[in-house]
Every structure is written in structure tokens, then in C-alpha cells.
Structure 1
């Protein structure tokens, strides 16, 4: 059976979107998954499932999460090899002058025209690199005053996304994708 890594978007933010790790495991198993593991309380889930289509895995998990929580939980799924490639890209893009390196994991590949428009906003200290279903936000010194708004990436690309910091992605790639 295939293994996947799922990233849950917009959970444990404020009082109305609580989704504890134990409930995530229960709901993931209710979706037919086995060998479920979580990492920190931000919605990182390792699972094995008989489903072979990424879209079907996402749909099954989103349905189970809605049933468990009562609110929609957009879910972005990667095969372990694909997540390892994202982590390798992140390592390649890391430079000593960066203050922050965020990763937006995307549900779907963005439209090339939207990517081009976002890349046109790169500033002297800030840069966006989009590779497949990942957008790397590279923020240099003074990033808060930079031309790239890391919180506007999802809207700019027009796809559902979730943000993870570089250390989380590296850790998950080491733990779950080796």
C-alpha cells in the first residue's frame, strides 16, 4: 500500500479550529488509513492507504476531517519521494543571508502566468522560487519591509496552500522520506 505525507491547512488557529493530534489520528484512520503518525501539532500526518490517487487521498481525508471537526480542513498530500525533493530544493536554495525561508506546499501546480506575476514581485532581499507544488519564500534582511508578502502567496498563485517552515520540512523529510 502507498504511503503519503499529508499537510493540514488552518488548524489549531484560535478557539474555533482546534484539531488535536489524537483526533487527527482517529479521523485519518476513519478514512481507511493505517500506520498513522503525526509530527507536532500543526497538521503533519504520515499515513498508508490503499488509495492510489493523490486527489482521492486528499478527498477521503478532507471528508473524514470534516466529520471529526465540523469544519473544513483543506489537506495537501505528497508522496514521500516528492516531499524529499521539496526538502532537497529547499537545501539548494538556502543561503547565508536569509533571515527566513518559508515553504508553501501547494495542493495543485499553479498556473504559469500566476507564477510569473508573483516572481515579478521579487525584491532585492526577497525572492520567491516556485518548483512544482512548492513555493519557497526566501526573505533577506529587513524582510518585513520587502516587496514579497509571504502571506499573500496562496492568493497570488490561486491554489490552496499551507505554510511550513524550513526546519519542519527538513525534519519530516529525514523522518518519513528516507
Structure 2
């Protein structure tokens, strides 16, 4: 069995996309996940699985979530080593940055030409740095007024889900071993 960390996109936002972490855990276990843990109610899941293909695991979980909730839940899976690398990249990408730091986690690795497009979309106060399947958004003090958002990332790079750097680092420490 291999260990994975799954990030669910757009759960527990508004009245129609409720997916409490206990229900997430039960759905992952029903889909064959073992030693399942969740962290806060934003769709962060650690699991062991006999599946070896990331794409197959994502599809299996997405099918289970749709069956359980009745709505699609895009799911983005990383290995513990990949998650540790994302947390390490944050140090390099954000050197000297004192504002907010969010990470958009991508379902697919982007092509170099679109990476350039997203990184060029930044301004002096908002910067995007791409490392593999993670986009580090270095923003000013208020995420809600930022123009460089997960929606912009998705427009250019495809399905993504966003976490603040504190959550990414916490999960890398807890589950990245």
C-alpha cells in the first residue's frame, strides 16, 4: 500500500457543497482507502491505497464522492514526497515576501508556455511562481482583494484547489514523512 494526500476542490463552500470531514473519511474508506485521516474541514485527506496510478486514484475517489454527495468533487492527489517538495519550494519562491502566501495545487503538470503566461500575469504586489503541480501565489495582505487568484490559475492551468501556506506546511509535517 502506498500513502497519498488528496485535496478536494470546492467543498464546504455555501449551502450546496457540504461534505463534512467524517463523511469524507467514510467515503474514502468505502472506496478502498485505509488508515484515512482528515485535517480541518476544507478537504484534506491522507490515505493508504493499493492503487499505484495517481490518475486512477483520483478517478476512484471522485466517483465515490459523487455517489456519496450527489455533486462532483475534483480531487488532486500527491505523494508525501511531492507535498514535502511543495512546502520546501515555498521557502525558495517566497524569499523576502512578507504578504500572504497561498498554494494552488494542480491536477495536471502545466506546459512551460502556460507557466510563463501565469507567472507574467503578476504585478509588483502579486506574484505567481510555479513548481511542478503547485502554483505559489505571493499576495498582499488581503487575499479577498487579490487579482491573482485560484480562478486565474484555473483559467490558464486547469483544475486546481487552493490552500494557504500554513495548511500546506502543517500537512507536509504531519503526513509528509
Q: Structure 2-normalised TM-score?
A: 0.93
Instruction: Give the match for residue 3 of structure 1.
Output: 3
Query: Contact (CA 8 Å) 1:99, 1:143: kept in 2 or not?
Result: no
Aligned length: 177
Gaps of 5+ in 2: none
CA distances 1:72-118 after superposition (whole Å, capped 9, x unpaired): 00000000000000011012223444311110000001122211111
**Any residues of structure 2 matched to 1:80-159 within 5 Å, and which?**
80-140=80-140, 148-157=148-157, 159=158
Gaps of 5+ in 1: none
CA distances 1:120-159 after superposition (whole Å, capped 9, x unpaired): 22211221101110000111468777663453111122x1
In the aligned structure 2, how far is the partner of 1:31 from the partner of 1:60? 7
Instruction: Give the match for residue 58 of structure 2.
Output: 58
In the aligned structure 1, how far is the partner of 2:11 from the partner of 2:141? 30
Instruction: Give the match for residue 167 of structure 2.
Output: 168
- Indicate whether 1:79 and 2:88 are aligned: no
- Indicate whether 1:20 and 2:20 are aligned: yes
Cα root mean square deviation, aligned: 1.7
1:119: Cα distance to partner?
Answer: 1.6
Structure 1 residue matching 2:10: 3-state secondary structure: coil
Query: Contact (CA 8 Å) 1:54, 1:77: kept in 2 or not?
Result: yes
Q: Structure 1-normalised TM-score?
A: 0.93
- Indicate whether 1:177 and 2:176 are aligned: yes
For structure 1, which segment, 60-69 or 133-142, has the greater mean C-alpha deviation from structure 2 after superposition?
Answer: 133-142
Query: Contact (CA 8 Å) 1:33, 1:49: kept in 2 or not?
Result: yes
